[in-house]
Structure 1
Amino acid sequence: MKTWIIKVGGAVLNSADAAKALFDVLASEQDNFVIVHGGGALVDAWLQDAGFVTAKHQGLRISPNEQMPYIVGALAGCANKQLMSQAISAGHKPVGLSLYEAGVLVSEKLKVLAQVGQCSGSCDSVLPSLLEQGRLPLVSSIGFGEDGQWYNVNADEAAAAIAKELDAELIFMTDVEAVLDANKQPLHQLNTQQIETLILEGVIQGGMEVKVKTSLLAAQHLRRGVYISSWLKPENLVALLKGEHVGTKITP
Structure 2
Amino acid sequence: MANWVIKLGGAVLNNIDAAKALIDVLHQKTEDKFILVHGGGSLVDSWLSDAGFVTSKHLGLRISPREQMPYIVGALAGCANKQLMGAAISNGFKPVGLSLYEAGLVSEQKLKALGQVGTCIENDASILKSLLNAGCFPIVSSIGFDLEGNWYNVNADEAAASIAQLLDAELVFMTDVEAVLDHKLNPLHQLSSADISTLIEEGVIKGGMQVKVNTSLQAAQHLRRGVYISSWQKPDNLIALLNGEHVGTKITP
TM-score bin, normalised by smaller chain: over 0.9
Shift of 1:67: 0.4
User: Which residue number in structure 1 is paired with residue 201 of structure 2?
Assistant: 200
Secondary structure of 1:17's counterpart equals helix
Query: In the alignment, residue 236 of structure 1 is paired with which amino acid?
Result: N
Secondary structure of 2:102's counterpart equals coil
Alpha-carbon distance between aligned partners in 1 of 2:153 and 2:240, rounded to the nearest angstrom: 32
User: Which residue number in structure 2 is paired with residue 188 of structure 1?
Assistant: 189
Shift of 1:12: 1.0
User: Which residue number in structure 2 is paired with residue 118 of structure 1?
Assistant: 119
Alpha-carbon distance between aligned partners in 1 of 2:233 and 2:10, rounded to the nearest angstrom: 13
Query: In the alignment, residue 204 of structure 2 is paired with which amino acid?
Result: V
Moved more, 19-28 or 231-240: 19-28
Listed as ranges, the matches of 1:217-228 within 5 Å are 217-228=218-229
User: Which residue number in structure 1 is paired with residue 20 of structure 2?
Assistant: 20
Shift of 1:15: 2.2
User: Which residue number in structure 2 is paired with residue 11 of structure 1?
Assistant: 11
Secondary structure of 1:139's counterpart equals strand
Alpha-carbon distance between aligned partners in 2 of 1:68 and 1:15, rounded to the nearest angstrom: 24
- Deviation track 1:41-74 (CA, whole Å, cap 9, x = no partner) reads 0000000000011011111000000000000000
Moved more, 200-209 or 123-132: 123-132
CA contact (8 A) 1:27 1:92 kept: no
Secondary structure of 1:126's counterpart equals helix
Which 4+ residue blocks in structure 1 deviate beyond 2 angstroms? none
Shift of 1:13: 1.6
Shift of 1:22: 0.6
Alpha-carbon distance between aligned partners in 2 of 1:16 and 1:124, rounded to the nearest angstrom: 29
User: Which residue number in structure 2 is paired with residue 72 of structure 1?
Assistant: 73
CA contact (8 A) 2:183 2:204 kept: yes
Q: TM (normalized to structure 2)? A: 0.98
Alpha-carbon distance between aligned partners in 1 of 2:77 and 2:136, rounded to the nearest angstrom: 18
Q: TM (normalized to structure 1)? A: 0.98
CA contact (8 A) 1:10 1:41 kept: yes
- Deviation track 1:17-43 (CA, whole Å, cap 9, x = no partner) reads 100001110122221000000000000
CA contact (8 A) 1:101 1:125 kept: no
1:39 to 2:40 alignment: yes
Q: Give the number of equivalent residue pairs.
A: 252
Moved more, 156-165 or 12-21: 12-21
1:59 to 2:50 alignment: no
CA contact (8 A) 1:10 1:79 kept: no
Alpha-carbon distance between aligned partners in 2 of 1:165 and 1:124, rounded to the nearest angstrom: 6
**Structure 1 unaligned residues grouped into runs of 5+:** none
Change (3 A) 1:125 1:145: farther
CA contact (8 A) 2:10 2:176 kept: no
Shift of 1:10: 4.3
1:178 to 2:179 alignment: yes
Alpha-carbon distance between aligned partners in 1 of 2:125 and 2:27, rounded to the nearest angstrom: 27
Query: In the alignment, residue 37 of structure 2 is paired with which amino acid?
Result: V
Alpha-carbon distance between aligned partners in 1 of 2:10 and 2:189, rounded to the nearest angstrom: 24
CA contact (8 A) 2:93 2:136 kept: yes
Shift of 1:2: 0.2
Query: In the alignment, residue 11 of structure 1 is paired with which amino acid?
Result: A
Alpha-carbon distance between aligned partners in 2 of 1:244 and 1:80, rounded to the nearest angstrom: 29
Shift of 1:211: 0.1
User: Which residue number in structure 1 is paired with residue 148 of structure 2?
Assistant: 147
User: Which residue number in structure 2 is paired with residue 250 of structure 1?
Assistant: 251
**Structure 2 unaligned residues grouped into runs of 5+:** none
Query: In the alignment, residue 2 of structure 1 is paired with which amino acid?
Result: A
> In percent, how many aligned pairs have the same letter?
72
Query: In the alignment, residue 235 of structure 1 is paired with which amino acid?
Result: D
Alpha-carbon distance between aligned partners in 1 of 2:155 and 2:107, rounded to the nearest angstrom: 11
